[in-house]
Chains A and B, each alone.
Chain A
Amino acid sequence: MFSVGLDHYLILSAVLFCIGLVGVITQRNVIKLIMCLEIMLNAVNITLIAFSMYITPAALTGQLFAIFVMVVAAAEVAVGIAIVFSIYRSRESVDMENFNLLKW
């Protein structure tokens, strides 16, 4: 058994990212779609921190980037769920098929 290195973390986060991407494409419930977006953002964070640990261990640049990714993720979830509630109030649905307000 060979020891865990950078490649393992990168492959793992690529797998998580692709699972999240498949979820974003297939889900019809908006809240589940937001969950899949969170999976993708977490996969990116794993990548950033693995690079930070294995490429520049002393500089911590990847960890600083990951902090900003978390900030943007928190803002995105807050606004996204507010929009979902707002549409749910008028449409009584969280199904993506009914979200056609902007269609013409």
Chain B
Amino acid sequence: MPDLVFYLLAAIALVASIAVIMVRDIFRAALCLIVLFMSVAGFFLLLHADFLAIVQILIYVGAISILIIVAVMLTRDARQGYPLDNYKYVAGAVGILLLAAIAYGILNTSFVNFGGAPPEQTIQPIGQALFGSGYVLPVEIAAVLLLSAILGAIAVLRDK
């Protein structure tokens, strides 16, 4: 049963991501992006990452896609989008070559499972790891990064 869900979600994710780059109307591309974010949240649930799945929906579906849709609506003269560049064959070749290289690497590596059972729910272990053990400094740096991103966005957009 999880296999069936995986293949279904994979089909949805691939179709949605191809639609993001192929659909001409940029607003519909943004909606396809939301479908992709939801299917990625489904993958997180399949991988027993319940907290990450909720955070994915809150941050990506709730915040980032709304920001992108607002950007689409405020630049409305460009709604129809632009045709693909004439680089598209080069880009396709680069993408397929990179995919072949990564797939070759993945299929020729034997990954070792270090064992241990995944926790029943991940919220408490993640909280303890983030604020209890070695991740306190990265959390503080992330806070400074978010603050400077907010200030930077305001400074860039402020009327002179």
User: Which chain A residues have a beta carbon within 8 Å of chain B's beta carbons?
Assistant: 1, 3-4, 6-12, 14-23, 25-29, 31-32, 34-36, 38-39, 42, 45-46, 49-50, 52-60, 63-64, 66-68, 70-79, 81-86, 88, 92-95
Question: Nearest Cβ in chain A — how far from B96, in angstroms?
Answer: 7
A18–B102 alpha-carbon span in the complex (Å): 10
Q: Lowest 9 CB-CB distances: which A-B pairs, in order? A: A58-B116, A75-B149, A82-B153, A25-B91, A23-B21, A22-B95, A57-B118, A28-B82, A18-B95
Q: Which residues of B contact A82 (CB under 8 A)?
A: 152-154, 156-157
Q: A86's contact among B95, B107, B145, B157, by CB below 8 Å, is which?
A: B157
Q: Which residues of B contact A95 (CB under 8 A)?
A: 78, 82
Interface residues of B in 5-58 (CB under 8 A from A): 6-7, 10, 13-14, 17-18, 20-21, 26, 29-30, 33, 36-37, 40, 43-44, 47-49, 51-52, 55-56
Question: Nearest Cβ in chain B — how far from A62, in angstroms?
Answer: 9
Q: Which residues of B contact A27 (CB under 8 A)?
A: 21, 82, 84-85
Chain A at the B interface: mostly helix, strand, loop or mixed? helix
Q: A35's contact among B30, B52, B98, by CB below 8 Å, is which?
A: B30
State whether B149 touches A67 (Cβ < 8 A): no
Q: Which residues of B contact A1 (CB under 8 A)?
A: 3
Q: Which residues of B contact A83 (CB under 8 A)?
A: 156
Q: Which residues of B contact A36 (CB under 8 A)?
A: 20-21
State whether A74 touches B64 (Cβ < 8 A): yes
A53–B111 alpha-carbon span in the complex (Å): 12
Given A39-B17, A71-B145, A78-B150, A26:B55 Cβ within 8 A: no
State whether A32 touches B21 (Cβ < 8 A): yes
Q: Which residues of B contact A67 (CB under 8 A)?
A: 52, 55, 126, 130
Q: Which residues of A contact B84 (CB under 8 A)?
A: 26-28
A35–B22 alpha-carbon span in the complex (Å): 12
State whether A34 touches B94 (Cβ < 8 A): no
Q: Which of A19, A22, A25, A82 gathers the greatest number of chain B CB atoms within 10 Å?
A: A22
Q: Which residues of A contact B83 (CB under 8 A)?
A: 28
State whether A81 touches B113 (Cβ < 8 A): no
Q: B107's contact among A7, A17, A35, A50, by CB below 8 Å, is which?
A: A7
State whether B126 touches A78 (Cβ < 8 A): no
